[in-house]
Amino acid sequence: MKMMNQATMDQESKKKMSCRRLGGYLRQQKGRLYIIRRCVVMLLCWHD
């Protein structure tokens, strides 16, 4: 029974790690999109 609990705990920790990794990736992509959006707006609104 103890081995079963350890396996379940390992699966839970792997899920948390993959969720954390996915969250970091999504946050990075969100930051990139924000920067690209700001650059596009700046280029479109540029006046000489």
Q: What pLDDT shows up at residue 31?
A: 97
- Full-model pTM: 0.56
Q: What pLDDT shows up at residue 1?
A: 47
Separation of alpha carbons 37 and 31, rounded Å = 10
Domain boundaries, given as residue ranges, for the chain:
1-48
Q: What pLDDT shows up at residue 10?
A: 66
Q: What pLDDT shows up at residue 20?
A: 82
pLDDT in tens, 1-48: 455 566 666 666 666 667 788 899 999 999 999 999 999 999 999 876
Spatial neighbors of 37 by CB under 8 A, at least 6 apart, are none
Exposure of 6 in the CB half-sphere (CA atoms within 13 A): 3
